Amino acid sequence: MDLELLVYTLDLVSTFAFALVGARVAANKGLDYGGILLIAAIASISGGTLRNLFMGIRPPWIQHPWLFFPIIAAVLITIAIGNKQEVGRFALSLDTLGLGVATVSSAQFALTYNAPFLAAVVLSIVGSVTGGLFRDILCQVQPVLLHRETVGTSALAGGLVYLSLAQLDVNDAVTVIISGLTVVLVREISIKFNWNLPKVVSR
Render 72-86 in DSSP notation, one character per residue. HHHHHHHHHH-S-S-
The confidence score (pLDDT) of residue 162 equals 96
The confidence score (pLDDT) of residue 92 equals 76
Residue 119 has pLDDT above 60, yes or no: yes
User: Is pLDDT larger for residue 147 or for residue 123?
Assistant: 123
Closest Cα to residue 17, out of 39, 47, 44, 53? 44
Q: Are 131 and 46 in contact (CB under 8 A)?
A: yes
The full length of the chain comes to 203
Closest Cα to residue 55, out of 131, 115, 103? 115
Instruction: Give CA 60 to chain center in angstroms.
Output: 14
* In the chain, where the domains are located: 3-192
Which pTM was predicted? 0.86
Round to whole Å and give the CA distance between 164 and 173: 14
pLDDT band, very low/low/confident/very high, at 95 (cuts 50, 70, 90) = confident
The confidence score (pLDDT) of residue 148 equals 64
Max CA-CA distance within the chain? 55
Q: Are 145 and 129 in contact (CB under 8 A)?
A: yes
The confidence score (pLDDT) of residue 7 equals 63
The confidence score (pLDDT) of residue 82 equals 76
Round to whole Å and give the CA distance between 154 and 8: 22
pLDDT band, very low/low/confident/very high, at 107 (cuts 50, 70, 90) = very high
Mean pLDDT of 180-202: 84
Residue 164 has pLDDT above 60, yes or no: yes
Look at residue 172 and give its three-state secondary structure: helix
The confidence score (pLDDT) of residue 4 equals 64
Helices (H) and strands (E) in the chain, counts: 9, 0
pLDDT band, very low/low/confident/very high, at 115 (cuts 50, 70, 90) = very high
The confidence score (pLDDT) of residue 3 equals 60
Mean pLDDT of the chain: 87
Lowest-confidence pick of 31-40, 81-90, 101-110? 81-90
Round to whole Å and give the CA distance between 203 and 198: 15
Residue 85 has pLDDT above 90, yes or no: no
